[in-house]
Structure 1
């Protein structure tokens, strides 16, 4: 079970955005999947196109460093750093401990320019995300695909590859859910209650912020 504070983030979201009440159950289910993944040593893989590619970058930025809470490194890391660093340079250990923050592993596929452009040029552009999932995905990971229509081919192909590898899958879409709504592509589909792209994206941001807050509360919040 997640800490109550993790689920509280979803309650706060719905209080601020009442239109998202119908998404609450799916958002909580996504929190559960993500917590289970991180507990198992997994990572979050995120993909999307255009504005959704920017959202993928945004999500990774919130997870890989402190968001709302301090993420101080623990005694175990202090010992590891002392073992790794030259004993004559204790200031390096102090500097690292004072400035580095606990991270929740995450990667944005749109940011991987070398592989994406090489594969698009040499093979099939709509399979670029799928190729990246093939190379990076492990069964303990989660793939979050952001597609306002729910029909983006490259995201759907990535979901298929993720399923083949045993990853859990989450889709973040608009009101219709598109092809993702069938349940054939994603274990969970969070459908923002709008139909115009920019309005869907305006809801996507507080939704994924809430996922990040919930995860941070779970792994870095008070016991």
Structure 2
């Protein structure tokens, strides 16, 4: 069992190294996109499904409250991934997240979408809604991402993790979001750089 534990750590480290080598420029682009949005009075809207919804909530909370250093709040929030409508069939509708994006999103805002497969219909609809609202998209995806990746344009940023195991992808996504938070803080509040 201890050999397997060591193997898990090795797999995680290898995934992180491969991701760092592949995504240094896109991570920088994602942070710059969010910084520009915030400087221009925009907001960051985050969404995911299942476990990635928890990451979306975590990321928005880090921006709203703080990452590692005390600083002013940044306008960010996570979309509600579960419906509490009175009509029970509403929970299955693929437009649930897209409706929130259309209601709240504005030109100049950024949608951070966290996808475990690239094929989640509700996330695809949310990205389509963001694009019609002239929002930029920062998408965390995996190697096999299909339809969601195909929606992204030159103003958008894709952080495509070179991994396939859901656990490794989730771990990597968490690290990527923390890295983006640190870059945002370094850029907007350089005097508080005590990392």
Do both proteins adopt the same fold according to a TM-score greater than 0.5, normalized to the shorter chain? yes
Does 1:189 find its partner at 2:158?
Answer: yes
Q: Structure 1 or 2: larger helix share?
A: 1
Unaligned residue ranges in structure 1 (runs of 5+)? 1-13, 72-101
Aligned residues: 175
SS at 1:17's partner residue?
helix
Does 1:155 find its partner at 2:123?
Answer: yes
Give the drift of 1:17.
3.2
Query: Cα deviation per residue 1:58-104 (whole Å; 9 max; x = unaligned)?
Result: 10121111221222xxxxxxxxxxxxxxxxxxxxxxxxxxxxxx111
Check the 8 A contact 1:23/1:191 in 2, yes or no: yes
Does 1:175 find its partner at 2:137?
Answer: no
Query: Cα deviation per residue 1:91-130 (whole Å; 9 max; x = unaligned)?
Result: xxxxxxxxxxx1111111136x6xx322874656211100
TM value normalised by structure 1: 0.72
Closer, same or farther: CA 135–210 of 1 in aligned 2, 3 Å:
same
Unaligned residue ranges in structure 2 (runs of 5+)? 1-12
SS at 1:118's partner residue?
coil
Does 1:206 find its partner at 2:178?
Answer: no
Alpha-carbon distance in 1 for matches of 2:142, 2:87 = 27
The runs of 4+ residues in structure 1 deviating greater than 3 Å are 119-124
Larger relative contact order (CA 8 Å, sep ≥ 6) = 1
Identify the residue that residue 22 of structure 2 maps to in structure 1: 22
Alpha-carbon distance in 1 for matches of 2:49, 2:166 = 12
Alpha-carbon distance in 2 for matches of 1:121, 1:133 = 21
Does 1:118 find its partner at 2:85?
Answer: yes
Check the 8 A contact 1:44/1:141 in 2, yes or no: yes
